[in-house]
Amino acid sequence: MEQGARECMDLTVITTYRCNSKCSMCYIWQNPTRPDDEVSPATLEKLPGGFDNLNLTGGEPTLRKDLAELVDLLYPKARVLEISSNGLHPERLEPIIRKYPNIKVRFSLEGMELTNDRIRGEENGFKTKTAGLLRLKQAGGTDLGLGAVIQDDNIGELVELYRLTQAMGVEFATSALHNAFQFHKSDNVPYDRLRVARAIEKLIVEMLRTNSVKNWFRAYLNLGLIEKVLGHDRLIPCTAAQDFVFIDPWSDVYACNVRPDLWMGNLAAQSWDEIMTGERARALRAQVAACPQNCWMVTTARTAMRNPRLTFLPKRKPLQWVIESKLRVSLGLPLDFSRYIDYSRVQQDAVKPPRPSFLGIKGVRRNLRPKTGPHYAAFGEFFNR
């Protein structure tokens, strides 16, 4: 392992802010980057090896003409290389999967056909991505899956969606609405927190019924989502700037993808070691320890759940919950969620207008984001509670 990566377990590279979906809960597509400004292979070459999970995301990473080159460069630097895609261009991923069958690929799917296409503003999105994932499976892909952002508009289809992934023989990842600079949005809040939280319970039980260890720990991750949805504190303290960092399309390195004030440096202008071991990084870690947000993004939560030294092992708290809960479900006993979750406390919010659907809407203004100038300030504060 090269020096530097040991400092950081997981890394996400936001390769571009261009996107060909039109989601209601993420406005990256309205704020694209210029291809010439986006983080280059030469800059990413400066990264050390030895990452545990290295996620290539966006925007939509398949819009990068040099995605195959980025994969060739980064595949040797991580135990798991992941591509998070909207799945609208499976043909661009097929040659990559044929070359590296064990690359982890997750397609975003927010519900069954009508629901997905409405939330994500995608014509034929559901059909394209379900067929596309099976195409990657036929090409030899061994770690494929679908991922949904849990929200009011798809909560009734969550278990159905999970069963679809089981029938397809692929994985199912979940996250919840977040305010974050990565999404260019600061009004992503569930309308009915209690309803959404209660519905996640059903998915947890369903996951614990399977024989998949991965699913049992995903069940715990979903328990964290219930806390997030209700506005409670995180289940496990955040380890941003230490165990995970993000690189945005302008090569800026951030402790997390929520708070733009946690800027660590710029990989085009600095070395990785300078960024990760400098005075600024140390100061930011102290700020992270005192962070008042209750975010529980899948990228950051799964890092927090794992042992930073033996990354294939979980921390004690999730392990204990999984053993207890799996045992109860296996014995046919109900899970008493009130033992873990205080449902009497639900964060109250100011009433917000419903999130719009952009399906079939033409002419939405896209603001090309320049390399210079404030990148995220126009969107207000990105706060999660």
Binding site for ligand SF4 (CB under 6 A): 238, 240, 255-256, 258-259, 288, 291, 293, 295, 300
Residues 6+ apart with CB under 8 A from 125: 21, 86, 87, 88, 109, 116, 117
Q: Are 189 and 295 in contact (CB under 8 A)?
A: no
Q: How far is the CB of 218 from ligand SF4 (least distance, A)?
A: 19
Q: How far is the CB of 288 from ligand SF4 (least distance, A)?
A: 4
> Residue 367 region, left (φ>0) first, then alpha (ψ -120 to 50), else beta?
beta
Of 258 and 329, which CB lies nearer to ligand SF4 in the complex structure?
258
Of 186 and 210, which CB lies nearer to ligand SF4 in the complex structure?
186
Q: How far is the CB of 5 from ligand SF4 (least distance, A)?
A: 20
Residues 6+ apart with CB under 8 A from 308: 9, 239, 242, 243
The amino acid occupying position 333 is L
E strands of the chain, at which residues? 10-14, 51-57, 78-85, 104-108, 143-150, 171-176, 244-247, 252-254, 263-266
Q: Is the dihedral of CA 163, 164, 165, 169 positive or negative?
A: positive
Q: How far is the CB of 238 from ligand SF4 (least distance, A)?
A: 3
Q: How far is the CB of 34 from ligand SF4 (least distance, A)?
A: 27
Name the CA dihedral angle for 247, 253, 256, 258, rounded to a multiple of 10 degrees: -90
Q: Are 122 and 21 in contact (CB under 8 A)?
A: yes
Q: How far is the CB of 293 from ligand SF4 (least distance, A)?
A: 4
Q: How far is the CB of 25 from ligand SF4 (least distance, A)?
A: 17
Q: Reduced to 3 states, what is the DSSP secondary structure of residue 174?
A: strand
Of 101 and 278, which CB lies nearer to ligand SF4 in the complex structure?
278
In terms of Cα–Cα distance, which of 209, 235, 382, 251 is closest to 315?
Answer: 235
Of 264 and 335, which CB lies nearer to ligand SF4 in the complex structure?
264
Q: How far is the CB of 84 from ligand SF4 (least distance, A)?
A: 17
Of 144 and 258, which CB lies nearer to ligand SF4 in the complex structure?
258
Of 175 and 300, which CB lies nearer to ligand SF4 in the complex structure?
300
Q: How far is the CB of 176 from ligand SF4 (least distance, A)?
A: 13
Of 8 and 255, which CB lies nearer to ligand SF4 in the complex structure?
255
Dig out the tokens for 40 from the structure.
Answer: 């280059």
Of 292 and 334, which CB lies nearer to ligand SF4 in the complex structure?
292
The C-alpha atoms of residue 91 and residue 85 are separated, in whole angstroms, by 12
3-state helix vs strand vs coil in the chain, percent to 5? 40, 15, 45
Q: Is the dihedral of CA 196, 202, 205, 210 positive or negative?
A: negative
Q: Are 375 and 250 in contact (CB under 8 A)?
A: yes
Of 258 and 264, which CB lies nearer to ligand SF4 in the complex structure?
258
